[in-house]
């Protein structure tokens, strides 16, 4: 735990990125973003190719507003940073700290109702304060599941007064209905200008001739992520000038040069790299050693000579020096993907009832086409534990969909009926009719808080809309004005229901 005097939302966020060093001042972007928000735009989408610096700009923006900027950093394909359960827990922890200056004691009561209740509190605060929401990675690349995109969007108070959103990716990938209802603006990020590259090189303490700096700028096309790779290559070289003169004409050829360090006849070395490339999360030497039934030092010996890999000597964490290298290696070692998936499945089956296994094992089994194993794993007992773990019906619905697909593939009528029933029950379990009488009773007793909590606990969008409309109606019948936050939420739920980007 960090000292209280340095705590803010950038330190509360579990996946907040580290800032690059050295840095080039890009405050002009931050000031322009703030001006656009002040002019009434609700959603800004930072656009640009990989390595252009979108994540860094978003982090710097959060540093400017550390007490009222909520951040989600999502890595498509990573089982940790794209797991909706973990992302929601991180977001709820930030909300709890922003509203009450305490972190969550545990995850036991963090369900959809808890999240919506905290968002309702935040809407009240937003009458007098401006809040920002940074969402990085949700609309990047082609790998992110559209259902997950919609699910995460449904968490946020989009459209609420004084709530603004900074999103990375492609404006065209946002749901069309979202773009039609709210004020959205694309914000392209440009590469470094030649003088920025020169400043970056100077910060490294390298005295290079201007034509050499121009050559580096040309090779890297001013992309900050590319410059960082060249920087690493130069600093690790025994002969700086030689390493610069040996730079290829195209940046992509640097990958080929670094790949030469991989031994073509060493299956173990390539398998370690394949695991890191295809299982997109941070790894530790001990974890890789367990997967491969090797000693951690033996894994370290395989990776240490490779300049495309970074090993943290303190934590034992290993990762590619850039996402570009990961993509390159994944393509080179694509023939290992099935073997990597099988290794991950075997590892997860060592503790099949762990939170980690329940969160990701069904999807792995589905991707591997192991439908028999999937149906056996998704027993009623496992589904019950999933609900207890997440305090949500979302896992039941998503896993039931996998079960239905697997049963169809195998022609298992009994399992098809079983998972179809699971799916239907999950959709109906929290229907508004069950809660309506309780909401009305609380409102008759002027218990607005409990009534709202019940309304927020409804899973389906239309059920929440129905229950909140009841609360607003009873307020008016008593001669009282419904809260602005309640009316805003009703409008937002109506928009979601009509235009269809919400999922629950």
Q: Does residue 259 or residue 85 have the better pLDDT?
A: 259
β-bridge pairing 309-311 and 317-320 = antiparallel
Per-residue confidence at 145, pLDDT binned at 50, 70, 90?
Answer: low
Q: What is the pLDDT of residue 80?
A: 54
Percent of the chain at pLDDT above 90?
A: 31
pLDDT per position as a tens digit, 192-220? 998 888 888 777 676 677 777 887 888 88
- Residue 25, pLDDT > 90, answer no
Q: Does residue 446 or residue 265 have the better pLDDT?
A: 265
Q: What region, left, alpha or beta, does residue 429 occupy, with left being phi > 0 and alpha being psi -120 to 50 degrees?
A: alpha
Q: What is the mean pLDDT of residues 314-329?
A: 84
78: number of Cβ within 10 Å: 16
Per-residue confidence at 130, pLDDT binned at 50, 70, 90?
Answer: very high
Rounded-to-integer distance, Cα 210 and Cα 242, Å: 16
Per-residue confidence at 116, pLDDT binned at 50, 70, 90?
Answer: confident
Q: What is the DSSP letter of 379?
A: -
Q: Does residue 313 or residue 392 have the better pLDDT?
A: 313
Per-residue confidence at 93, pLDDT binned at 50, 70, 90?
Answer: very high
pLDDT per position as a tens digit, 447-493? 888 788 878 877 667 778 888 888 998 988 888 888 887 888 888 77
Long-range contacts of 38-41 (CB under 8 A, 24+ apart): 40/183, 41/164, 41/183, 41/184, 41/185
Q: What is the pLDDT of residue 44?
A: 97
- Residue 122, pLDDT > 80, answer yes
With a CB cutoff of 8 Å and minimum separation 6, the contacts of 246 are none
Rounded-to-integer distance, Cα 407 and Cα 418, Å: 10
Q: What is the mean pLDDT of residues 304-332?
A: 86
Least confident piece of the model among 85-94, 304-313, 457-466, 471-480:
457-466
- Residue 351, pLDDT > 80, answer yes
User: Burial, 408: exposed, middle or buried (Cβ in 10 Å; 0-12, 13-18, 19+)?
Assistant: middle
Q: What is the pLDDT of residue 367?
A: 85
Give the residue carrying structure tokens 């449904």: 154
Written as six digits, the tokens of 110 are 């963090």
- Residue 4, pLDDT > 60, answer no
Rounded-to-integer distance, Cα 157 and Cα 178, Å: 12
Per-residue confidence at 160, pLDDT binned at 50, 70, 90?
Answer: confident
- Residue 289, pLDDT > 90, answer yes
Q: How far is CA 140 from the centre of its chain?
A: 10
Per-residue confidence at 374, pLDDT binned at 50, 70, 90?
Answer: very high
Termini Cα distance of the chain: 34
Q: What is the pLDDT of residue 299?
A: 94
Rounded-to-integer distance, Cα 458 and Cα 465, Å: 9
- Residue 99, pLDDT > 80, answer yes
Per-residue confidence at 262, pLDDT binned at 50, 70, 90?
Answer: very high
4-188 CATH: 3.40.50.300
Task: Tally the C-alpha atoms within 13 A of residue 139's C-alpha that lie toward its C-beta.
Answer: 20
Task: Tally the C-alpha atoms within 13 A of residue 272's C-alpha that lie toward its C-beta.
Answer: 30
- Residue 430, pLDDT > 50, answer no
Per-residue confidence at 59, pLDDT binned at 50, 70, 90?
Answer: very high
Q: What is the pLDDT of residue 240?
A: 61
Q: What is the mean pLDDT of residues 31-52?
A: 93
Rounded mean pLDDT of the chain?
Answer: 83
At the second CATH level, the architecture of 267-339 is Orthogonal Bundle (1.10)
């Amino acid at each position: 735990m960090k000292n209280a005097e340095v705590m803010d939302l950038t330190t509360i966020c579990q996946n907040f990125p580290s800032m690059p060093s050295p840095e080039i001042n890009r405050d002009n972007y931050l000031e322009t973003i703030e001006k656009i928000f002040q002019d009434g735009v609700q959603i800004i989408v930072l656009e640009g190719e990989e390595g252009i610096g979108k994540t860094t700009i978003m982090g710097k923006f959060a540093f400017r507003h550390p007490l009222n900027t909520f951040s989600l950093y999502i890595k498509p394909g990573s089982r940790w940073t794209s797991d909706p359960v973990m992302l929601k827990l991180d977001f709820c922890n930030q909300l709890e700290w922003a509203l009450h200056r305490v972190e969550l004691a545990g995850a036991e009561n963090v369900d959809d109702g808890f999240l919506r209740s905290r968002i309702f509190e935040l809407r009240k605060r937003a009458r007098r304060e401006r809040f920002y929401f940074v969402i990085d990675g949700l609309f990047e690349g082609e790998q992110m599941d559209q259902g997950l995109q919609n699910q995460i969007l449904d968490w946020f108070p989009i459209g609420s007064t004084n709530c603004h959103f900074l999103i990375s990716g492609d404006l065209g990938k946002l749901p069309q209905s979202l773009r039609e209802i709210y004020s959205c603006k694309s914000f392209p990020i440009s590469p470094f200008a030649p003088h920025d590259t020169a400043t970056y090189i100077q910060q490294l303490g390298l005295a290079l001739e201007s034509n050499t700096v121009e050559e580096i700028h040309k090779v890297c096309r001013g992309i900050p992520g590319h410059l960082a790779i060249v920087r690493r290559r130069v600093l690790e070289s025994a002969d700086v000038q030689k390493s610069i003169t040996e730079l290829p004409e195209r940046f992509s050829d640097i990958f080929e040069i670094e790949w030469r360090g991989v031994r073509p006849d060493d299956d173990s070395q390539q398998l370690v790299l394949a695991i890191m490339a295809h299982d997109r999360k941070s790894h530790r030497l001990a974890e890789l050693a367990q997967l491969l039934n090797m000693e951690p030092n033996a894994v370290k010996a395989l990776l240490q000579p490779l300049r495309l890999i970074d090993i943290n000597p303190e934590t034992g964490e290993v990762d590619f020096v850039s996402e570009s290298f990961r993509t390159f290696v994944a393509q080179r070692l694509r023939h290992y993907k099935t073997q990597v998936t099988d290794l991950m499945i075997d590892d997860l089956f060592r503790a099949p009832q762990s939170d980690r296994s329940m969160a990701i094992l069904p999807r792995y089994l589905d991707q591997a086409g192991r439908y028999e194993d999937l149906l056996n794993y998704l027993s009623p007992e496992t589904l019950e534990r999933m609900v207890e773990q997440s305090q949500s019906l979302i896992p039941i619905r998503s896993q039931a969909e996998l079960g239905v697909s697997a049963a169809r593939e195998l022609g298992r009528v009994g399992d098809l009926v079983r998972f179809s029933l699971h799916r239907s029950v999950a959709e109906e379990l929290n229907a508004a009719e069950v809660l309506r009488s309780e909401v009305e009773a609380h409102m008759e007793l002027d218990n607005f808080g409990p009534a709202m909590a019940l309304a927020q606990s409804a899973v389906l969008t239309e059920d929440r809309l129905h229950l909140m409309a009841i609360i607003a109606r009873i307020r008016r019948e008593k001669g009282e004005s419904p809260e602005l936050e309640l009316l805003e939420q009703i409008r937002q739920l109506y928009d979601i229901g009509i235009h269809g980007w919400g999922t629950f």
